[in-house]
Amino acid sequence: MRYANVDGVRAEAQPKVRGVCRSCGGEVISKCGAHVVWHWSHRSLTNCDHWWEAETEWHRRWKDRFHESWQEVILRDELSGEKHIADVRTGHGVVVEFQRSTIEPAEVAAREQFYQRMVWVIDGSKNEFDCVNFSNSRSGVNENAMARFRWSGRSKLFQRWHSTKPVFIDFGEDHGFWRICRFDPKSKEGVALLVDRDMFAAALIGAETDFSSGGGPASTF
């Protein structure tokens, strides 16, 4: 995690410093090696939020598009007491989850149920073959920035994120940032919208939209 409490103050990891987890109250120690993103780690070698994944520079670059106070927001279900740390929760109540590792459909559904108003941003550049396959499988972009594609790769990328929540896949600088508007797991055909990353963040920051009106890849309306 990026933030912990040090002497009661929210702080980023610094070498040879210990802090307190803002979610569970457990002791955390700073991890500040030359080849890792500086972060806090629970001393007990456990993570109080099993939805949390190790952060990379990709996560940090995306999160830094949003105000520091919107990052790593702890949310709690008042009825069950369940707590989770949202990657970003805007001041307008929209959760943005930046996901790089593979998670099971049951966890996807659980997160969506917990967060309700949310947007997924997926790292599609983790596998370079996904980037190339997507570029090769899609049509040209039309006047509305839309493209059709037929997924022929062996990767389950699009099946894995077959959600009714808005899903954006970041294929890196060379292959673009795309909203997956529709995807049919049987035909493996879909429709994607090319999106400017800065405009995406600005729309969420300014509460221009939460992107829910367009649904996700599994939406039928």
Together in a domain, 16 and 112: no
* One domain for residues 160 and 211: yes
How many of the other CB atoms lie within 10 Å of CB of 173?
9
Tell whether 60 and 143 lie within a shared domain: yes
pLDDT of residue 221: 64
Strand order in the sheet with 3-6: 9-12, 3-6, 18-20, 27-31, 39-42
For the beta sheet containing 71-76, the strands, ordered from the edge strand earlier in sequence to the opposite edge, are 71-76, 83-89, 95-99, 118-123, 167-170, 177-184, 189-194, 146-150
User: Can you tell me the distance from the alpha carbon of 105 to that of 47, in angstroms, rounded to the nearest whole number?
Assistant: 21
Assess whether pLDDT exceeds 70 at residue 215.
Answer: yes
103 and 204: one domain? Answer: yes
Q: What is the DSSP letter of 153?
A: S
Shared-domain flag, residues 57 and 44:
no
> Does residue 28 sit in the same domain as residue 99?
no
pLDDT tens by residue, 97-134: 999 998 998 999 999 999 999 999 999 999 889 999 99
Residues 116 and 213 in one domain: yes
Q: What is the reported pLDDT for 33?
A: 87
Are 87 and 145 contained in the same domain? Answer: yes
Domain assignment of residue 210, given as a range: 50-221
Whether 4 shows a pLDDT value over 90: the answer reads yes
Domains held by the chain: number: 2
**172 and 117 in a common domain:** yes
Residue at which a domain ends, from 11, 31, 48:
48
pLDDT class for 173, splitting at 50, 70, 90?
very high
The rounded distance, in Å, linking the Cα atoms of 9 and 7 is 6
Average pLDDT, the chain: 93
43 lies in the same domain as 65: no
Q: Give percent above pLDDT 90 in the chain.
A: 81
Residues 128, 156, single domain; the answer is yes
Residues 111 and 175 in one domain: yes
Residues 74-95: tens digit of each pLDDT:
999 999 999 999 999 999 999 9
